[in-house]
């Protein structure tokens, strides 16, 4: 064996040993960022039925919503897992440049945000539920971007397409802010929808197509640690401390509404039948949805004399005041 071959073998052996040591450490150091070499199982889970791109004809039967929450790789992946969501498309919205590229948007000169277009089944979920879900999968207090990603293009935004959606967004951002969960105020913007453009194909379904790289980026960004700290294993009602099933409201924002606000009933949206079946008891569902009746003088509020505003158990709409 000549000298050059011996040198190659020695170098190769050293590389194998070093490589084995690096792998056993479990993390790779890239600059100052620690990137996990083995992503968490929760990050690897995907629902492939939701990731299959549907035809235009198939999508016409669904409602749409537009949210921005930082890197659209993450918002796309998160919202694909939301109940009732049938499709999520990564793209750009809110700016002035026609058919922008990723470079146009991240240059912070086009006015666009990284946005996801959500197609959802209105018989299974509601726009308000999607707003709740979105707010619990971002940092709602970050006005300058989201986690690693900084700049206007990464700001959290709820884009509304109707007055009803605007009211839903405002009400829930106010509720989240009033809950005083964070040390900073809620900074999510509410803007009118305009000009959604699909992002380049390599951005679509990024979490599924580039799982290891995506999961490494996501975990090292601190997103999941933040979500677990503030939202882990909580429902929206638990988070903000409200529920539509409470008979009397002590919420000062309800009690102090002016006359015009009291007449605005568009804010009260009936949930889908599937949601109501999980939210209501059997007798509550039968009475409110199936025209059923209940046994007289035999319910939880028969001897209730609390003062306050009584609301509809289905939508939360105020019915009367006992004051």
Burial label for 68, CB within 10 Å (0-12, 13-18, 19+), is buried
Would you call 71 a catalytic residue per the annotation?
yes
Q: Taking every pair of C-alpha atoms in the chain, what is the biggest distance, in angstroms? A: 100
- Do residues 171 and 212 touch, judged by C-beta distance below 8 A? no
> 70 phi and psi, to 5 degrees?
90, -145
- The structure tokens listed for 113 are 């945000």
- Do residues 217 and 223 touch, judged by C-beta distance below 8 A? no
Helices 127-135/72-80 angle, 10° precision: 130
- Do residues 207 and 76 touch, judged by C-beta distance below 8 A? yes
- Closest Cα to residue 85, out of 34, 113, 50, 54? 50
DSSP H helices, the chain, are 3-25, 41-44, 48-51, 56-59, 72-80, 102-106, 127-135, 163-178, 206-209, 211-221, 223-231, 236-240, 252-255, 259-262, 273-279, 282-289
Catalytic one of 43, 71, 74, 215: 71
- The structure tokens listed for 304 are 């209730």
Q: Is 296 helix (H, G, I), strand (E, B) or coil?
A: coil
Catalytically active residues, by annotation: 71
């Amino acid at each position: 064996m000549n000298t050059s071959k011996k040198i190659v073998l020695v170098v190769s052996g050293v590389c194998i040993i070093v490589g084995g040591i690096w792998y056993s450490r479990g993390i790779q150091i890239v600059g100052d960022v620690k990137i996990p070499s083995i992503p968490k199982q929760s990050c690897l889970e995907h629902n492939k039925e939701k990731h299959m791109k549907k035809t235009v004809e198939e999508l016409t039967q669904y409602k749409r919503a537009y949210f921005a929450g930082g890197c659209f790789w993450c918002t796309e992946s998160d919202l694909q897992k939301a109940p009732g969501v049938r499709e999520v498309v990564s793209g750009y919205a809110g700016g002035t440049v026609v058919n922008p590229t990723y470079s146009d948007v991240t240059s912070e000169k086009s006015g666009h945000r990284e946005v996801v277009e959500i197609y959802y089944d209105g018989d299974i979920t509601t726009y308000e539920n999607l707003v709740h879900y979105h707010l619990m999968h971002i940092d709602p207090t970050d006005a300058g971007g989201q986690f690693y990603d900084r700049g206007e293009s990464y700001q959290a935004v709820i884009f509304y397409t109707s007055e009803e959606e605007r009211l839903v967004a405002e009400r829930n951002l106010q509720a989240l802010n009033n809950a005083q969960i964070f040390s900073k105020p809620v900074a999510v913007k509410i803007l009118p929808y305009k000009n959604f453009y699909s992002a380049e194909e390599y951005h679509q379904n990024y979490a599924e197509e580039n799982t290891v790289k995506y999961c490494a980026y996501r975990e090292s960004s601190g997103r999941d640690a933040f979500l677990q700290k503030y939202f882990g294993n909580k429902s929206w009602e638990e988070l903000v401390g409200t529920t539509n099933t409470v008979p009397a409201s002590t919420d000062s924002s309800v009690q102090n509404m002016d006359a015009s606000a009291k007449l605005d009933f568009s804010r009260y949206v009936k949930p889908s039948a599937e949601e109501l079946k999980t939210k209501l008891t059997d007798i509550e569902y039968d009475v409110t949805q199936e025209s059923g009746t209940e046994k007289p003088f035999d319910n939880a509020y028969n001897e209730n004399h609390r003062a306050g505003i009584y609301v509809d158990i289905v939508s939360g709409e105020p019915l009367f005041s006992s004051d």
